[in-house]
Structure 1
Amino acid sequence: MSLFVNLVGLVLMALVVWWFWLSNRKSTAQAATQEATIIVEDGVYSPASIRANTGQSLTLHFDRRDPSPCAEQVIFQGLDTSAFLETGKTTTLTLDNLPAGKHRFTCQMQMYQGTLIVD
């Protein structure tokens, strides 16, 4: 019986790893923009890839639909910017004078993941 429980546990762990890090979810990158809405739901940011222009401001509207505690914060690595997201509400975040490059944005546990591409 304990062997069965261990096997079920391993399968469930593999599913979690696949869902959050290995699955190839469809997400379309938007054209370079100055404003975008990102839906936070079901363990993903949608769209997960945003394009912006160097040196310009970008306004992001995070529509948090997921009550998971992991979804309560978005952190932009390399930009020293973060915001708390309220469930059922849209939180607006403006990023000014964006430097060129790829900037990851994640939840505090890095399960939700996205990329800001600045050209």
Structure 2
Amino acid sequence: MLVINILGFALISLIVWWFWLYKPRNGMVVKGTVPITVNNGVYTPAQVRVMAGEKVTLSFLRKDNSPCSSIVQFNNLEISEELPLNKTKDISLESLEPGTYPFSCQMQMYRGELIVEGKADE
């Protein structure tokens, strides 16, 4: 009985960490097209850094056949796009203001963020 309680507590702790405490690692600033793979419940990379005012294209390749992975949403940008299975879907974004723009599936189980940094000369 003690083993079952310990395993239950460990599972609850993992769920809390994954959905509320986990933060993706810092990424480097990129330009142009950024490939993002959707597979095994995650976006890879889950964090994309770009410079403000520059055009960037996020090229999503969905390898996960889960229904949850079929849509990517940028709620702050009012963007919602369907991702076809095993095909790329490009989402072009132009001249974004500095800030953090989270993206996720419709149930927010797959999570990522687009970080737009201010210009170096500002």
TM-score, length of structure 2 as denominator length: 0.78
1:26 to 1:102, Cα distance in 2 relative to 1, 3 A: closer
How is 1:88-103 mapped onto 2 (pairs within 5 angstroms)?
Answer: 88-103=86-101
Aligned counterpart, 1:58: 56
Equivalence for 1:77: 75
- Secondary structure of 1:78 counterpart: helix
Asked if the contact 1:70–1:109 (Cα under 8 Å) also holds between the matched residues in 2, the reply is: yes
Alignment pair present for 1:32 and 2:30:
yes
Paired amino acid for 2:53 = G
- Indicate conservation of the 8 Å contact 2:70/2:82, yes or no: yes
Aligned to 1:86: 84
Q: Deviations over 1:11-69 (max 9, x none)?
A: 79737725842685875513232220000000000000001111111101101000000
For 1:37, give the aligned amino acid. Answer: P
- Unaligned stretches of 5+ residues in structure 2: 118-122
1-structure distance, mates of 2:69, 2:95: 26
Identity %: 35
Is contact 1:37-1:62 (8 Å) kept? yes
In 2, Cα distance between the equivalents of 1:15 and 1:54? 37
Partners of 1:26 and 1:117 in 2: CA distance: 12
Task: State how far apart, in whole Å, the 1-side matches of 2:39 and 2:13 are.
Answer: 18
Q: How large is the RMSD of aligned CA atoms in angstroms? A: 2.8
The alignment covers a number of residue pairs equal to: 116
| Structure 1 residue ranges without an equivalent (≥5) | none
Residue type matched to 2:106 in 1?
Q
